[in-house]
Chains A and B, each alone.
Chain A
Amino acid sequence: MVLLLQYTIIFASVLCLVALGGCFSEHSGVINLGLEGIMVMGALGGAVTMFMLPAGTSKIVIVIATTLAAILLGMLFSCLLAVACINFKADQTLIGTAMNLLATAAATVFVRAMNTSINPDNVSTSIQYIQPKKAFLKYIGGFEFNWFMLMAVVLLIASYILLYKTRFGLRLMACGENPQAADSVGINVYKMRWAGVLISGFLGGLGGIVYITAGVSEWKFEMGVAGFGFLALAVMIFGQWKPTNIALAALLFGLFRALSNVYTGIPFLAAMNIPSTVYNMLPYIISLIVLAFTSKNSRAPKAEGIPYDKGMR
């Protein structure tokens, strides 16, 4: 049971972070389908940093450097979305899809080139980080506490405050609801949308490194992040674009995800003999059903997905 709790919380942290990222981007009016790609890039940044840091680096340095690298790479990669969709008014669905493919391909190429340059016979696409990963963990009884869990909670509260209690957040949401009106009162819609996308890069990148350090100590970059970015998108929709609801949705979907990992260890669930694919499917099925019942009067930002053109005012 402790294992189930631990997995639920760490997966929920990932989903919560990434979904909040999506939430900021969409509230500013840009649909971010590239979350999966941003996660891959964040994961790459973090994993490479952990790999490169010399043995014996103090724990606190490892934690800070890894986190910062993941965030930085996530934000850099999200610039691709911002440039194309905000400045060049490209199709947001197309660019998001391209980013997902690009991130996985680029990460694979980079990791393989790195491995080969260190050892010419090493053609794998994985990075190992068994030792440095321990810097993130603290054992409380049988429970494996991860510093990322704390970061997720702090960032959740910060996101709530930023979105609802600050001038910046309210302006950001105005740009997603009615950019023309926002512009008419002097808000720079382009800047606000850039801010929204960059924040989603920040949170998505962080989510990426949390995901690949959850439970495993080695990551094969060919796999990308195995659809977690899309699951986060489902969390965001299930949470109706509100941080508090997103946190609850993340807990629920995190539980399903954890169940698919550990259900064989729980006698009552193992006895039911439900294949793990069912637990994997459930989050998506639930979101689809929720969408079917809520989309008529959806809480989605009104102007999301529509490039803002000053001339159209």
Chain B
Amino acid sequence: MKEKKSLLKNPSFQAILTSLICIVLGLLIGYIVLLMINPAGAGDAIKTIILNFLTRSSSAARAKALGNTLAKTAPLLMCALSICFCYKVGLFNIGAPGQYEAGACIGLYAAIAWHTPWFISLILAALAGAVVGSISGALKAYRNVNEVISGIMLNWIILYLTNTILGGKKTKDIASPYTMKLGAGNTKIPSAGLNTLFANNTTVTIAIPLAILFAILIWVILSKTKFGYELRATGFNKEAAKYAGMKEKQNIIVTLAIGGALAGIGAAFLFLTGYQEWSTTQNSVPAMGFNGIAATFLGGLHPIGTIFASFFIQSITDGGALINKSVYPSQISDLISSIIIYLCGFVLFFKFAINNWISKKDKGGPNVNDVPVKDDAAKAEGGEK
């Protein structure tokens, strides 16, 4: 007997719906903040943030701006995949920024000091990220150190290490805090004709399709292979996995090493395109890794959803840079994306509420709501002062 299935009951639809709720609420709060700063242009400003490249005047400028957004989406997607992959295996890879830094450090050093071709630099960056990831993994597997704590410590250690290494004579001009620009030839990731599609934006490279391929690959590994199944089993229950004959310690290390490699490649996808240089005086962990957390959760913890979420996060960030800066601060988009991450913490509750509502509607039965509902929107407002 087949009952007509409500669309709302479909888990993937629910995931998309909850992500949309987070986005709408985040944008709404951002809009309110804009209204408080200056009501006159708030509507235009929020529109600019949402539409980003579409607000440019000519089609060439639009294509170029879209290219810039895509060029930065690729590294963001890789960081998000790193966190997503580990999260699916029960590990919170907050060390992604550190692994990203390691990738930038070794990838850039090789490309600038040794003039290695881009694919060699890319592999070195992946290895560097994997090494940092596996330090966290080994500490977790053999010394019972929480991967969140070791990840945070490593983020800072690797940041200072990277600044020291890239600050050397071989990679940095004496006069500027930035690393040298990549030379011509094949040290940069090739564009393979993609730049012509985006009004000759040379930062658009094969990194973008490669990142999407990685997302599909991660999805296949996690859901279609024995290897992915074992990793997920270890994440669900370490003891049970061990009992079933899986090498649980090894699985933890391998997971974080893969996560690290993905984040390392992410760094290569940004710095090896020549989009920007590493600043050796930066004293905070790069935001890329943390934005990756936003993209992961907004993407419903699904590698494919992460692709769209990464693009969205990057697009509102770039859109924020386009608003009228004499009136509004461009950091408003950081504010919106951080509110979205915060709201993602409530995803489980949103899903619970939806399911609860469905069962109530279906049966008219008792409400099993045991989560005390509080007016969190009011609280969120209070924290922004």
A residues neighboring B (CB under 8 Å): 31, 33, 41, 73, 76-77, 79-80, 83-85, 87-91, 93-95, 97-102, 104-106, 108-110, 112-113, 116, 120, 123, 125, 222-224, 226-227, 230-231, 233-234, 237, 275, 277-278, 280-281, 284-285, 287-288, 291-293, 295-296, 298, 310-311
Contact = CB atoms under 8 A, between A and B. Distances in A.
A291 B150 contact: yes
Interface string B330-354: 0110110111011011101100000
Contacts of B210: none
Contact of B92 (A79, A93, A233): A93
Contact of A284 (B156, B283, B344, B385): B156
Interface residues of B, number: 61
A74 to B, nearest CB: 11
A95 B145 contact: no
Nearest to A76: B382
B321 to A, nearest CB: 14
Given A109-B332, A110-B385, A295-B143, A116 B327 contact: yes
B325 interface: yes
Contact of B156 (A41, A101, A227): A227
B342 A98 contact: yes
A31 B149 CA distance: 11
A206 B146 CA distance: 28
A94 B344 contact: yes
Q: Is the interface of A mostly helix, strand, loop or mixed?
A: helix
Contact of A298 (B144, B156, B290, B294): B144
Contacts of A292: 139, 143, 145
14 contacts: A33-B148, A77-B383, A84-B376, A88-B345, A89-B348, A98-B338, A105-B331, A106-B338, A109-B37, A113-B328, A222-B331, A223-B283, A288-B157, A296-B144
Contacts of A288: 139, 145, 150, 153-154, 157
Contacts of B332: 105, 109
Interface stretch (B2-10, B102-110, B160-168, B258-266): B160-168
B118 interface: no
Contacts of B146: 295
B345 A106 contact: no
Given A84-B342, A227-B285, A280-B160, A101 B290 contact: yes
A108 B33 CA distance: 13
**Residue of A237, A277, A287, A310 with highest tally of chain B CB at under 10 A:** A277
B163 A89 contact: no
Given A84-B376, A102-B342, A230-B152, A123 B290 contact: no
Nearest to A237: B149
Interface string B278-297: 00000111010010011001
Given A73-B385, A88-B371, A101-B290, A83 B156 contact: no
A101 B94 contact: no
Interface in B294-325: 294, 297, 325
B11 interface: no
A112 B331 contact: yes
A109 B33 contact: yes
A95 B37 contact: no
Which of B144, B161, B285, B328 has the largest number of chain A CB atoms within 10 A? B144
A54 B341 CA distance: 38
A110 B383 CA distance: 12
**Most A-side CB within 10 Å, residue of B33, B283, B284:** B284
Given A87-B371, A91-B345, A227-B284, A102 B331 contact: no
A296 B146 CA distance: 11
Contacts of B153: 230, 234, 284-285, 287-288, 291
Contacts of A120: 326
Contact of B329 (A41, A83, A109, A275): A109
Nearest to B147: A93
Contacts of B328: 113
B372 interface: yes
Contacts of B36: 113
A84 B338 CA distance: 14
B383 A106 contact: yes
Nearest to B140: A295
B338 A90 contact: no
